[in-house]
Structure 1
């Protein structure tokens, strides 16, 4: 007859193995949101690169500018603000948007599960920066897709005590010049449901050659992207439909804005017409709002012939509100 006492070590080993197996299958604790020197951790543990252009050593910033780039962009797109604003007393933070060309997960580039991730990312980054600089006013500067992210985050994610001191919508995506019929939109949304990660270039969807899309006074989208390391050649249908969903709710978002708002726009924008920009501006109910036009520039205002003018206008607007 087997001695029960001799069987105990084997039983203990079995129980220990089961316990270790259970522990390995348990979800691991996510890193807490955090600002690091050249990267940051978002609400869900996602780590993304970022850049900071600080005010001169020994001085306290008058204000902070958080810059959010556009589709197929990167934080490095804001080098001009990084060169001009710190000397005027403003520290500039620019983070790389998830799903774009600097996303560390290559398979995620050109894709997003939900636009809510973009909004929560900006909310998280904003609160981290506020914690880093207590009592200093924080402003947002969003370009193109970044303008949508800023608009909708300000409208729906924060409250009056946490809101930015003001937001700048540069080359705002107020609508699309290219008309998408209801039937074509239905087909796109159905395809996005059935095959959400199918990819298309912007030229494919718009029916134009990207080499002919003017983005600055002297360059086209094709020539710019040919020398841009963070260029994304195609985007998933679900990312494109998520952007479409933000566009649909632009009017409601604009009506909820109460902080100062600055529009920086060009009548030559490839995405939105002047009438669409003017309409979105009129829907903003903030008691302090301003719209500036740059008639010789195209979509990439900070990289075009009037970029110094844009930087100067921005600095003057910040000075009035940083007081």
Structure 2
């Protein structure tokens, strides 16, 4: 049974005292610029390292991860999953089990994303200060996994928001870091700003500049439209079942994602590794034509493939055609050189 998302409206009080108090709170909650330099009054962050269920990232913060490893052999290919908004590392569980059976020389790692529902820092959930933090987390985690499996090919698998992080990380490589050997881009969010009514997009952009840490729900931006993410679920119903559910996100995070989506074609033009693009024909966030235009942006000499599933929705790994999708991924991995 499907339930329509309720409409939520933001009301802004014009009392100057209210505006001043919000502005002060916003400034206090704002993020300082990231630094890689040791300051005399601060201890050096812990060095990146991979523990059994968590890893220490570039800035000393710890984030969890999951892994699925072959039982009898060293993997030739390691997939690193980057989950979507309101997701978690366990979203890759079904795919991992399928690949362990059908691609026994393939391993799967998936880390929790900073600012999402499994971030150990509760105050950071639903927010991101700098998108570079996502890129640095991904490269740090990738480097640590490479040390464990030095002979394996590394494949980034970004889903939804994770596809934005993967694509933009590809062109923001830190000094000394190594890009992935291949990428799987699932349900890329292309030109999501086009889905918002112009007045609503302008309101979000303007308000985010004044109050970047003000939080709203994804449903409040949908104009009352049900955000259908699988054949059986709409977004609000689906996420309410999950412990990692985040009810609201900061305007700062949503605006950054909008900017990443609007500029997604630029990093595509720089990709020099094999890439597989997956898209559901009923994806509410991105049309077939937008995905095909995005796909055409990869260089002509790139080993690229696209799979469009006309009857599928946004969350392909949970949708009704997932077994077919997993089989297509498995076949692509077998052919990966």
TM-score, structure 1 normalization: 0.87
Report what 1:5 is aligned to.
none
Alpha-carbon distance in structure 1 between the residues aligned to 2:224 and 2:159: 23
Query: What is the SS of the residue equivalent to 2:171?
Result: helix
Alpha-carbon distance in structure 1 between the residues aligned to 2:174 and 2:129: 22
Query: What is the SS of the residue equivalent to 2:317?
Result: helix
Out of 288, 304, 311, the position equivalent to 1:274 is 288
Report what 2:217 is aligned to.
201
Partner deviation per Cα, 1:165-194 (whole Å, 9 max, x = no partner)? 11001011112251442x544432232122
Alpha-carbon distance in structure 1 between the residues aligned to 2:176 and 2:182: 12
Map 1:13-92 → 2, pairs under 5 A: 26-56=41-71, 58-87=72-101, 88=103, 89-92=105-108
Query: What is the SS of the residue equivalent to 1:135?
Result: coil
Report what 1:307 is aligned to.
322
Please tell me whether Structure 1 or Structure 2 has the larger radius of gyration of its CA atoms: 1
> Structure 1's 129 and 268: CA in aligned 2 closer, same or farther, altered over 3 A?
same
Partner deviation per Cα, 1:237-296 (whole Å, 9 max, x = no partner)? 100111122123212111111111100101100111111111111111152111101122
Shift of 1:160: 11
Preserved CA contact (<8 Å) 2:271 2:302: no
Preserved CA contact (<8 Å) 1:69 1:97: yes
Preserved CA contact (<8 Å) 2:80 2:109: yes
Q: CA RMSD in A?
A: 1.8
Preserved CA contact (<8 Å) 1:156 1:253: no
Q: Which structure's residues are more often helix, by fraction?
A: 1
Query: What is the SS of the residue equivalent to 1:130?
Result: helix
Query: What is the SS of the residue equivalent to 1:156?
Result: coil
Shift of 1:42: 0.8
Moved more, 97-106 or 122-131: 122-131
Report what 2:308 is aligned to.
293
Unmatched 5+ stretches in structure 2: 1-39
Alpha-carbon distance in structure 2 between the residues aligned to 1:29 and 1:266: 45
Comparing both chains, which one has the higher relative contact order based on Cα–Cα distances under 8 Å and sequence gaps of 6 or more?
Answer: 2
Alpha-carbon distance in structure 2 between the residues aligned to 1:187 and 1:307: 37
Shift of 1:195: 1.1
Query: What is the SS of the residue equivalent to 2:63?
Result: strand
Report what 1:141 is aligned to.
157
Preserved CA contact (<8 Å) 2:229 2:313: yes
List structure 1 segments (4+ residues) > 3 angstroms apart after TM superposition: 158-161, 183-187
- The question of 1:223 aligning with 2:237 is answered yes
Shift of 1:320: 1.2
Alpha-carbon distance in structure 2 between the residues aligned to 1:271 and 1:186: 19
Aligned residues: 294
Partner deviation per Cα, 1:86-127 (whole Å, 9 max, x = no partner)? 232111000000100001111111100011111111111111
Preserved CA contact (<8 Å) 1:101 1:232: yes
Out of 189, 193, 210, the position equivalent to 1:173 is 189
Preserved CA contact (<8 Å) 1:175 1:277: no
Alpha-carbon distance in structure 2 between the residues aligned to 1:264 and 1:163: 21
Out of 251, 258, 268, the position equivalent to 2:272 is 258
Alpha-carbon distance in structure 2 between the residues aligned to 1:160 and 1:252: 23
Report what 2:33 is aligned to.
none
Unmatched 5+ stretches in structure 1: 1-24
Query: What is the SS of the residue equivalent to 1:301?
Result: coil
> Structure 1's 243 and 93: CA in aligned 2 closer, same or farther, altered over 3 A?
same
Query: What is the SS of the residue equivalent to 2:158?
Result: strand
Shift of 1:31: 0.8
Out of 172, 180, 185, the position equivalent to 1:156 is 172
